[in-house]
A and B are shown apart, each in its own frame.
Chain A
């Protein structure tokens, strides 16, 4: 839609047009009033003047009329020569007959012979006045004056003056309005500029300056408030989107981690089954394979349990079944469950428990789960042979449980994030621990459901950490907690149990190599000992020469001395990760020719790409099937 020209112009020009229009209207009305007044006033003044003139002529010529002296009367009329506007005049006797006449141009023929009726007539520029001559109450006669009315000339001069005055007034009004309108247009301009900047640059931090206290100021305020609201909403939306993205990324990471963590136990189970099925496998091999399968299945059950907890937390179905629980019983359950890993990693565990019979109101399973989780973490994140303290006490209506270790510790900026779902303080490939990153988050939720708090402390990386559980224990019963010191101090100092296959010669599994296969020198490097050892066994059973290592650096050293034809390398390994190991092998002339195969739980396409970039020839996702293994080896021929 096209607006009329006037509406499309800027406010400044509109205001100017407004001022000009209103000033012009006022001036025109004033001028009309003045002109009409002037016409009226001029007529009145002219008539008065002419009547006076007639009166003077009448009086002067009264004696001449009275004594019928035409000569004198004519002379009296000739006085009118002094008045240029009087064109002609006539004196009439009492009988109404022309007595004496006067004409400016000398031509008296136009003067009527008889006097007309008293009064005045204005026709065009002619004014005719018929006036009585009275003396001493006696009507002596009549005087007739014909004069130039002169209104036209007068009006012309008047209009000229008015026009000049109006032009002057208009110019003054425009100049004045140009000066005064800045008070109106500048604030509007400010608001408009701000609005344009917002629209053009999508910049909602722009604010209109408040320059006046009037409606425009209010408009600027309103716009600023709207901008502030908009800015805040956009920021909130952006934050919300960012939060969603983070959650989404965490979930993706979680799923990848989940796949990885599930494949890791699957691979040794697969291998163990191959070993059991292999011809010539004896009872010892079978029992060892069963032990492997048992361990790895337990790990998988733990993972699935964690997965269920995650689902309970995200759907809000995490609930407690609270009852009177005996604290020692709960602690013992957790300790029992954690005993194998403590023993395996050779930690020294100090336990300080309240006396038996002390009960609080809690969900025993969940409480035990929290302690188990904290103890498990301590065991996992403390290098073998570490020291772990577990204490439990009830004091001042509060149960306090502490799990303290001298392990890897936690950086100050990670103390909060580790409690978030799926968070893992160490996301590097060299991390030695496994898990879904659910434990601490779940534990904190469980403690909070108990009305308590779970907090972590650490003096920094490498300086150990401490996790403290506090639960209000109003309904404490049984022996007083703060009584006679520690009830039980138990110590568990166990050397790690020998790993499967290490330090002992595996029994030979006799397998006839297939026709195409060339016998190779094979290096296997994986920190999952069960997987590495079983894979090594399988390869040996195929007749290859095999070397097995459990971390990256050992693998690198073995590659240089053992000179393998082919190497199966895990990616996530302590010391040196698989990618770096591959790069180093490729960089070193004596090892650059090895066929490198990545065997890992990380199975996404970007993982494959990273493997290729690092120099791997193949990327295989665990578990490694026998067919696949044989086809890989077959290519060596």
Chain B
């Protein structure tokens, strides 16, 4: 991995991130009202990160989580995030982060110190691995509960948001 070319490494990083997005679904509880019905799909909105969206679309194809199909939605800056259970904000769209904070859905960012800016989970590259840090209380404010099993794996857990 260390010897891989930079572009290939970047692509793999995006694929790992996509996989993480999918796997987070298993460790987060949404309020029942967030779904249209018992078999309504999970909706993962990917904002301004085409590589991640593409990889994710490959991963979720034909898969179900907790009995629900998973749907990936491409979002552009300014587009509504309505109906998305997970919202991944790519590096290019971090500027619009302040508008997204407080919206329903799990807000996941891949940017240094994103938690300080209202993100619930932040994906980081540490020691050549993709790790994540979590702000469970931020999630709680949006009605979401993050499993302690996920917290146990987190690189860091932000105890209290400002």
User: Among B82-90, B97-105, B147-155, which stretch is in contact with chain A?
Assistant: B147-155
Is A136 a contact partner of B153 (Cβ separation < 8 A)?
Answer: no
Which listed residue (B63, B64, B147, B153) contacts A67, Cβ 8 A? Answer: B153
Q: B150: which A residues are within 8 A, CB to CB?
A: 63
Which listed residue (A64, A135, A137, A138) contacts B153, Cβ 8 A? Answer: A64
Smallest CB separation, B117 vs chain A (Å): 23
Q: A138 CA to B63 CA in the complex, in Å? A: 9
B-contact 0/1 string along A51-68, CB 8 Å cutoff: 000000000101110111
Q: A136: which B residues are within 8 A, CB to CB?
A: 26, 64-66
- Name B152's closest neighbour in chain A (CB-CB): A72
Instruction: Please give the number of chain A residues whose Cβ is less than 8 angstroms from any Cβ of chain B in the complex.
Output: 13
Q: A625 CA to B25 CA in the complex, in Å? A: 165
- Name B155's closest neighbour in chain A (CB-CB): A69
Which listed residue (A66, A72, A137) contacts B23, Cβ 8 A? Answer: A66
Is B149 a contact partner of A67 (Cβ separation < 8 A)?
Answer: no
Q: A72 CA to B129 CA in the complex, in Å? A: 14
Q: A3 CA to B120 CA in the complex, in Å? A: 98
Q: B149: which A residues are within 8 A, CB to CB?
A: 60, 62-63
Q: A63: which B residues are within 8 A, CB to CB?
A: 27, 147, 149-150, 152-153
Q: A72 CA to B155 CA in the complex, in Å? A: 11
Q: A324 CA to B3 CA in the complex, in Å? A: 169
Q: A137 CA to B65 CA in the complex, in Å? A: 8
User: Which B86-137 residues have a C-beta within 8 angstroms of A?
Assistant: 129, 132
Is B153 a contact partner of A72 (Cβ separation < 8 A)?
Answer: yes
Q: A62 CA to B129 CA in the complex, in Å? A: 18
Q: A60 CA to B23 CA in the complex, in Å? A: 15
Q: A137: which B residues are within 8 A, CB to CB?
A: 64
- Name B26's closest neighbour in chain A (CB-CB): A136
Q: A386 CA to B23 CA in the complex, in Å? A: 161
- Name A73's closest neighbour in chain B (CB-CB): B153
Q: B129: which A residues are within 8 A, CB to CB?
A: 68
- Name A64's closest neighbour in chain B (CB-CB): B153
Instruction: Please give the number of chain B residues whose Cβ is less than 8 angstroms from any Cβ of chain A in the complex.
Output: 15
Smallest CB separation, A443 vs chain B (Å): 138
Q: A482 CA to B52 CA in the complex, in Å? A: 168
Q: Does B35 contact A (CB under 8 A)?
A: no
Q: Does B20 contact A (CB under 8 A)?
A: yes
A-contact 0/1 string along B20-31, CB 8 Å cutoff: 100100110000
B-contact 0/1 string along A70-97, CB 8 Å cutoff: 0010000000000000000000000000
Smallest CB separation, B14 vs chain A (Å): 16
Is A135 a contact partner of B26 (Cβ separation < 8 A)?
Answer: yes
- Name A137's closest neighbour in chain B (CB-CB): B64
Q: A67: which B residues are within 8 A, CB to CB?
A: 20, 23, 132, 153
Q: B66: which A residues are within 8 A, CB to CB?
A: 136
- Name B150's closest neighbour in chain A (CB-CB): A63
- Name B132's closest neighbour in chain A (CB-CB): A67
Smallest CB separation, A243 vs chain B (Å): 120
A-contact 0/1 string along B137-152, CB 8 Å cutoff: 0000000000101101
Q: A565 CA to B129 CA in the complex, in Å? A: 174
Q: A69 CA to B64 CA in the complex, in Å? A: 23
- Name B147's closest neighbour in chain A (CB-CB): A63
Smallest CB separation, A123 vs chain B (Å): 35
Smallest CB separation, A18 vs chain B (Å): 68
Q: A60 CA to B26 CA in the complex, in Å? A: 14
CB-CB under 8 A for A69 and B65, given A63-B27, A135-B26: no
Q: A72: which B residues are within 8 A, CB to CB?
A: 152-153
CB-CB under 8 A for A66 and B26, given A136-B66, A137-B64: yes
- Name B23's closest neighbour in chain A (CB-CB): A66
Q: Which of A60, A63, A64 has the most CB of B within 10 A?
A: A63
Smallest CB separation, B42 vs chain A (Å): 11
Q: A66 CA to B27 CA in the complex, in Å? A: 11
Q: A135 CA to B150 CA in the complex, in Å? A: 14
- Name B65's closest neighbour in chain A (CB-CB): A136
- Name A67's closest neighbour in chain B (CB-CB): B153
Q: Which of B23, B65, B129 has the most CB of A within 10 A?
A: B23
Smallest CB separation, A73 vs chain B (Å): 10
Q: A3 CA to B66 CA in the complex, in Å? A: 84
A-contact 0/1 string along B59-75, CB 8 Å cutoff: 00001111000000000
B-contact 0/1 string along A576-589, CB 8 Å cutoff: 00000000000000
- Name B20's closest neighbour in chain A (CB-CB): A67
Q: B64: which A residues are within 8 A, CB to CB?
A: 136-137
- Name A63's closest neighbour in chain B (CB-CB): B149
User: Which B34-63 residues have a C-beta within 8 angstroms of A?
Assistant: 63
Q: Which of A60, A67, A136 has the most CB of B within 10 A?
A: A67
Q: A53 CA to B78 CA in the complex, in Å? A: 50
Q: A137 CA to B69 CA in the complex, in Å? A: 13
Q: A66 CA to B65 CA in the complex, in Å? A: 14
Q: A261 CA to B85 CA in the complex, in Å? A: 160
Smallest CB separation, B101 vs chain A (Å): 25
Smallest CB separation, B81 vs chain A (Å): 25
B-contact 0/1 string along A107-149, CB 8 Å cutoff: 0000000000000000000000000000111100000000000
Smallest CB separation, A134 vs chain B (Å): 12
Smallest CB separation, B123 vs chain A (Å): 11
Q: B65: which A residues are within 8 A, CB to CB?
A: 136
Q: B132: which A residues are within 8 A, CB to CB?
A: 67
Q: A538 CA to B82 CA in the complex, in Å? A: 189
Q: A278 CA to B123 CA in the complex, in Å? A: 187
Q: A67 CA to B132 CA in the complex, in Å? A: 10
Q: A62: which B residues are within 8 A, CB to CB?
A: 149
Q: A433 CA to B132 CA in the complex, in Å? A: 161
Q: A138: which B residues are within 8 A, CB to CB?
A: 63
Q: A72 CA to B26 CA in the complex, in Å? A: 18
Q: B153: which A residues are within 8 A, CB to CB?
A: 63-64, 67, 69, 72
Q: A60 CA to B27 CA in the complex, in Å? A: 13
Q: A62 CA to B65 CA in the complex, in Å? A: 15
Smallest CB separation, B159 vs chain A (Å): 20
Q: A55 CA to B55 CA in the complex, in Å? A: 31
Q: A53 CA to B90 CA in the complex, in Å? A: 41
Q: A60 CA to B152 CA in the complex, in Å? A: 11
Q: B27: which A residues are within 8 A, CB to CB?
A: 63
Q: Which of B63, B129, B153 has the most CB of A within 10 A?
A: B153
Q: A66: which B residues are within 8 A, CB to CB?
A: 23, 26
Known: A136-B66, A137-B64. 6 other contacts (CB 8 A): A63-B27, A63-B152, A64-B153, A66-B23, A67-B132, A136-B65
**Contacts A/B (CB < 8 Å), 11 sampled:** A63-B147, A63-B150, A63-B152, A63-B153, A66-B23, A67-B132, A67-B153, A68-B129, A72-B152, A136-B65, A138-B63
Residues of chain A at the chain B interface (Cβ within 8 Å): 60, 62-64, 66-69, 72, 135-138
Residues of chain B at the chain A interface (Cβ within 8 Å): 20, 23, 26-27, 63-66, 129, 132, 147, 149-150, 152-153
Q: Across the A-B interface, give the 10 residue pairs with the lowest CB-CB distance, nearest first.
A: A63-B149, A66-B23, A69-B153, A67-B153, A136-B26, A63-B153, A72-B153, A136-B65, A63-B150, A64-B153
